[in-house]
Amino acid sequence: MEDLKGPHNIFRMIRMGATLERTGAMPVVLEAFDAPRPLRILARTLVWPFKWLGKRGDLELPPPARALSALGPAYIKFGQVLSTRPDLVGNDLALQLRILQDKLPPFPTSAAKRMVEEELGQPLEVIFDDFSEPVAAASIAQVHKARLRETGDTVAIKVLRPRIERAFQRDIDVFYFVANFIEVFSPGSRRLKPRDVIEHFEGVVKGELDLRLESASASEFAANTKDDAGFTLPKIIWEHSSRRVMTMSWAEGVPLGDNAAIDALGHNRDELGTRVLQLFLNHALRDGFFHADMHQGNLKVAPNGDIIAFDFGIMGHIDDYTRRVYAEILYGFIKRDYKRVAEVHFEAGYVPADRDVEEFARALRAVGEPIFGMDASRISMGKLLSYLFEVTERFGMETRTELILLQRTMVVVEGVARSLSPQLNIWDVAHPIVEDYIKNALGPRALMNDLVKTLRVVARFGPRLPNLVEKALAAQAASAVAPPPSRLGLKIATTAILSASCAGLAAYLLLS
């Protein structure tokens, strides 16, 4: 079935290039990425005959936003990321793409009302008063303002776009087609696992298409961050939420990307930039659960200065071990301890064990030192990740799909922070958060917590452990000359080991 999609996807690829050309986005994009002149000529020469196949898009939008919004939701997501990185695409293109965050053309309010009634199973007027026209429209859903008839509270109602699931799947099919093409014609790229990357991306965004999952994510996120100073979330109203509709409390504020409005309200943009970056690092390292779509369209500043987060469709999760690895890599770069960064890569199995750790450390130094030599406004974690990728590629590191979302979000958040405070020193801001996590995650208290967790697991299987050990040793002994140890001996030995472990742990706890 997948092979039959090939011709359709070839056509869609051609139409993508034709749309960029027809909307006038092609030269803007090539210029923004500083493409060599021969490449610009070749790209436009190949696409020009098919220009008539391109979509025209919304003529009121600037060319890049016009092209991406015409191509579909997956392309819009890509544009949203680029809009936060003026250091990569230039201020002009970043400004043009920022309109993709929450100013897309809405779908009719009548369609939204029908969907709300179908999903909630009641006439609209029974639940809500003053159901407004769309107040924000994004790639996957739009938001309406209303008032609950029962309580009089003002709420925001998020409604999925009609047929958005089908449209997004078409884009995903093209991405898979491109990934297969790359793997066939560029064997060296297979270590990057392009199909795994697309599968990861597909899973994340499909979660965004079920608003019940988003509501659950918002609830968990609120529980984790309830004590974070200067950070608030709207409250989910579960009884008026479903798969395609989500109702939450209304939160008033100005967009985090509107610097003029922020200045007019007297907020300190340097402090806001620092806070948004430190909040993200805390959520990722402390909780292992973070907002993975933190562009300006999903963040506001409340009148009291709190940062308000919205849109919890894409959330990231990383386990304890991965958090420690990521923190140690960051901390090593902050301390310019490249040997330790290299060792962490080897200990985690990110780099093949047959490579030379000293040579890898020297390569990492070549990545870090030029960046630390820059002034604050030019220091970029995005550039560090880019250079680090080049080095790890040379040493045979495979793509870590579990880190893709974390790395992408780090780049986006850095862009948001830098847009608020261009002179922000990323390393100075990250240092206290990462250092505090290292102390808590790798110090004596963390070791004690690990031992307690291990003891709990052992205790859970304690009654069965002697028999499990006996069976394992018996199976091994069956293939050996020597007879297996006696059942009684195994139980005595296993019990002794457990007793010694418990005694050692108790002694450690008492001494600590």
Residue 30 is predicted with a pLDDT of 74
Provide φ and ψ at 17, rounded to 5°.
Answer: -65, -40
293 is catalytic: yes
Residue 445 is predicted with a pLDDT of 66
Look at strands 141-148 and 307-309 and give their pairing.
unpaired
Length of the chain, in residues:
512
Q: Say which residue, 166 or 81, is predicted with more confidence.
A: 166
Measured between alpha carbons, how far is 298 from 296 in angstroms, rounded to an integer? Answer: 5
Helix axes 338-347, 357-372, angle to 10 degrees: 130
- At residue 339's C-alpha, the angle toward residues 334 and 343, to 5°, is 105
Look at strands 307-309 and 231-232 and give their pairing.
parallel
What's this model's pTM, rounded to 2 decimal places? 0.71
Alpha helix ranges (H) inside 283-400: 320-334, 338-347, 357-372, 381-394
Tokens for 411, please give them: 């780049």
Tokens for 299, please give them: 């963040």
Side by side, the strands of the sheet bearing 299-301 are 231-232, 307-309, 299-301, 254-255
User: The dihedral of CA 189, 190, 191, 194: what is its sign?
Assistant: positive
Tokens for 292, please give them: 């993975």
**For residue 211, which amino acid is it?**
L
| Helix and strand element counts for the chain (H, E) | 23, 11
Provide φ and ψ at 155, rounded to 5°.
Answer: -135, 160
Q: Say which residue, 161 or 207, is predicted with more confidence.
A: 161
**Which residue in 316, 278, 319 sits closest to 404, CA to CA?**
316
Beta strands in 223-378 (DSSP E): 231-232, 245-249, 254-255, 289-291, 299-301, 307-309, 315-317
Residue for token pair 């989500």? 246
Provide φ and ψ at 234, rounded to 5°.
Answer: -70, 150
Measured between alpha carbons, how far is 415 from 421 in angstroms, rounded to an integer? Answer: 10
**For residue 259, which amino acid is it?**
N
Tokens for 75, please give them: 């392309």
| pLDDT tens-digit map of 266-324 | 999 999 999 999 999 999 989 999 998 888 888 999 999 999 998 898 888 888 888 88
Q: Say which residue, 7 or 87, is predicted with more confidence.
A: 7
Provide φ and ψ at 377, rounded to 5°.
Answer: -70, -15
Distance of CA 216 to the CA centre of its chain: 17
Residue 83 is predicted with a pLDDT of 72
* H/E segment holding residue 314: none
| pLDDT tens-digit map of 12-32 | 777 877 888 888 888 887 777
- Band of pLDDT at residue 86, cut at 50, 70 and 90: low
Long-range contacts from 89-97, C-beta under 8 angstroms, 24+ separation: 89/32, 89/33, 90/32, 92/32, 93/28, 93/29, 93/32, 93/64, 96/28, 96/62, 96/63, 96/64, 96/65, 97/64, 97/65, 97/68
**Mean pLDDT, the chain, whole residue set:** 79
Provide φ and ψ at 415, rounded to 5°.
Answer: -65, -40
Q: Please, are residues 186 and 192 in contact by the beta-carbon 8 Å criterion? A: no
| 72-82 per-residue burial string, b: 16 or more CB within 10 A, e: under 16 | bbbbbbebbbb
Q: Please, which residues bridge with residue 255 across strands?
A: 300
Measured between alpha carbons, how far is 448 from 450 in angstroms, rounded to an integer? Answer: 5
**For residue 182, which amino acid is it?**
I
Tokens for 382, please give them: 């995005």
| pLDDT tens-digit map of 122-168 | 999 999 988 999 998 877 889 999 999 999 999 999 999 988 888 88
The catalytically annotated residue of 87, 171, 293, 311 is: 293
